[in-house]
Amino acid sequence: MEQKEVQVSPFLVFFLIHGIQVGVGILGFQRIIIKSAGNDGWIAVIAAGIIVSLVIAIQYNLLNRHKNDIFQIQKELFGKFIGSLFGLIWIVNWIVLTVTVLRSFIEVVEVWVFSTINIYLFALIFVILIYYCLTGGFRVVTGICVLGTIIPLYLYLTFLFPLKYTHMHNLLPIWNHSIKEMSVATKDMALSYLGFSTLLMYYPYIKHAKSSQKWAHYGNILTCFIYLFLMIITIGYFSEKQISHHIWATLSLWKIVELPFVERFEYIGITSWVLMILPNICLFVWAAAQGIGRIIKIKQKKVVLFILLIVYILTVLINGRDQIDSLNHLTANLGLYMLFGYIPIICLYSYVRSKFKEKKK
């Protein structure tokens, strides 16, 4: 376990989990879910939230048993060489997630705010900001997650404006889609919660880590509630045919926000959303850097610079909606297999192995 001076209190896991789950994906998750589940999309949101809570519980079961991060656990279970190979997959996963979040957000800024934005300069400024944040260590990253959760909370109040135009009867009839359609929607929705895999890396940095599990679940519940709130409003406000034409349905809801001091609120909303994107990227880069540090003994600042250089190059090389969609598809599948496939299997293997050792003794 890490030294106490670099550890954080258990309740801060609430912000670490919620801060990593809510990012650029929440701006347009509705179209994908409604495509499969239609007006039953809100059921898929709840189902996915329950499944994610189960995976968080499985993660804690594994982490509490070994009292270490995923890299040390893999080395213990599979040996140094194979454990390090599996560790590389986690590092690639976190780096790809970083690029996905950053490039997707730049696309939103391009389409909604500045169509002639210089991607090279914008990405560079963002990368410098991330490096500055990460030089402060894990406690600073945790503080960014806290601020990224609390400060933008006012944005959710703006989604009350469309309520007077919503038709709640659009939610009816309930469950008029097949099990297969609901399963696909639940799988797609679960991908919107991705990011909580970083728990596998920062677990040793939590004081009395075992007691932090309830806070992790509370963070996931808040995320689920926010997604559910936005999904219900979207289903009530748009028709199924209309939503298929809105890539960023959440931003489209801001179009009707009328305030005396601003004509187009989406400009303020997108600008404020930087505070939600920053915790995502900082945690992913921090986790990837820590992972490389577990495999190769090297100074963290050098590792962070190396990762950010890769992130910058990949971000500016990706162009067009098709490439961004392909990147999102890759990220979704990789995260799905790692969290909902690999983690339960490794947890089961760890449990069986520990029981076998007990019997042998």
Given a cut of 80, is residue 295 above it in pLDDT? yes
Query: What global pTM score does this model have?
Result: 0.92
Sorting pLDDT into bands at 50, 70 and 90, what band is 261? Answer: low
When the pLDDT of each residue in the chain is averaged and rounded to a whole number, the result is 88
Sorting pLDDT into bands at 50, 70 and 90, what band is 275? Answer: confident
103 sits in which H/E element: helix 80-112
Answer yes or no: are the C-beta atoms of 159 and 237 closer than 8 Å. no
Domains defined for the chain, CATH in brackets: 4-360 (1.20.1740.10)
Give residue 3's pLDDT: 57
* Helices 41-66 and 179-192, axial angle in degrees (round to 10): 60
pLDDT tens figures, 140-166: 999 999 999 998 888 888 888 888 888
Given a cut of 70, is residue 47 above it in pLDDT? yes
pLDDT tens figures, 177-218: 888 999 988 888 887 888 889 999 999 999 999 999 999 999
Instruction: Please state which of the ranges 83-92, 185-194, 218-227 shows the lowest mean pLDDT.
Output: 185-194
Answer yes or no: are the C-beta atoms of 6 and 204 closer than 8 Å. no
Give residue 164's pLDDT: 82
Sorting pLDDT into bands at 50, 70 and 90, what band is 1? Answer: low
Answer yes or no: are the C-beta atoms of 144 and 282 closer than 8 Å. yes
User: Dihedral angle at the C-alpha atoms of 306, 312, 318, 323, nearest 10 degrees?
Assistant: 70
Sorting pLDDT into bands at 50, 70 and 90, what band is 267? Answer: confident
Answer yes or no: are the C-beta atoms of 206 and 13 closer than 8 Å. yes
pLDDT tens figures, 8-23: 999 999 999 999 998 8
Give residue 269's pLDDT: 82
In the numeric block, the tokens 């799988």 are attached to 187
Q: Which positions ≥6 away from 325 have C-beta within 8 Å?
A: none
Whole-angstrom Cα distance, residue 247 to residue 22? 17
Give residue 38's pLDDT: 86
- If you average pLDDT over residues 59-67, what whole number do you get? 93
Give residue 146's pLDDT: 93
- State what percent of residues in the chain have pLDDT above 70: 98
CA angle 18, 57, 182 (to 5 degrees): 75
Answer yes or no: are the C-beta atoms of 220 and 51 closer than 8 Å. no
User: Dihedral angle at the C-alpha atoms of 310, 312, 314, 317, nearest 10 degrees?
Assistant: -140
- If you average pLDDT over residues 250-278, what whole number do you get? 80
Given a cut of 80, is residue 44 above it in pLDDT? yes
